[in-house]
């Protein structure tokens, strides 16, 4: 058994080692992103200075200390903008194509979604658009488009 696993280890070429390292790094990135997001989200709930009910949908009315708010904004910029831009350099061409298509669809959803939502609100069909609603619309469309593009290939 030991000899067989040694043979299999020797049979791995340099390209396979790079692929395995890339998969391992991607898994580490995903796990660390999940932990980072969970800690950041939990700290929003813990550091909220409002008394009373603190549900998820009251996110837009939360109040924070100015220093904590600035630190949170920097961490959010790091997690939502800079890390994904850095990771674009680490993925293959097909994944970049999927990501760009998804980001483009999310951008169209936000840019087109706001005027459509505002027109529906003016006619009494919907409530007024909110920043959180527009963000969730764009982010949701980005995720769904990415998953569909990945599923199709």
Q: Over the stretch 2-58, which tens digit does the pLDDT of each residue have?
A: 555 555 556 677 778 888 888 888 888 888 888 888 888 777 777 776 676 566 556
Q: What is the pLDDT of residues 45-56, one digit of tens each?
A: 777 766 765 665
Please return the burial class of 153, using the count of CB atoms within 10 Å of its CB with bins 0-12, 13-18 and 19+: exposed
Taking the C-alpha atoms of residue 82 and residue 100, their distance in angstroms, rounded to an integer, is 15
Task: State residue 146's pLDDT score.
Answer: 93
pTM attached to this predicted model: 0.61
* Residue 99 near residue 146 (C-beta atoms within 8 A): yes
């Amino acid at each position: 058994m030991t000899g067989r696993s040694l043979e299999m280890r020797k049979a791995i070429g340099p390209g396979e080692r790079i692929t395995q390292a890339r998969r391992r790094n991607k898994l580490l990135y995903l796990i660390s992103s999940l932990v980072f997001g969970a800690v950041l989200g939990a700290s929003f709930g813990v550091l909220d200075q409002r008394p009373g009910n603190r549900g998820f949908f009251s996110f837009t009315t939360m109040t924070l200390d100015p220093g904590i708010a600035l630190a949170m904004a920097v961490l959010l910029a790091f997690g939502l903008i800079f890390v994904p831009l850095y990771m674009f350099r680490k993925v293959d061409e097909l994944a970049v194509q999927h990501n760009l298509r998804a980001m483009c669809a999310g951008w169209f959803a936000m840019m087109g979604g706001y005027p459509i939502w505002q027109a529906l609100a003016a006619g009494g069909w919907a409530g007024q658009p909110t920043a959180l609603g527009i963000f969730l619309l764009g982010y949701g469309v980005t995720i769904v488009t990415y998953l569909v593009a990945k599923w199709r290939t």
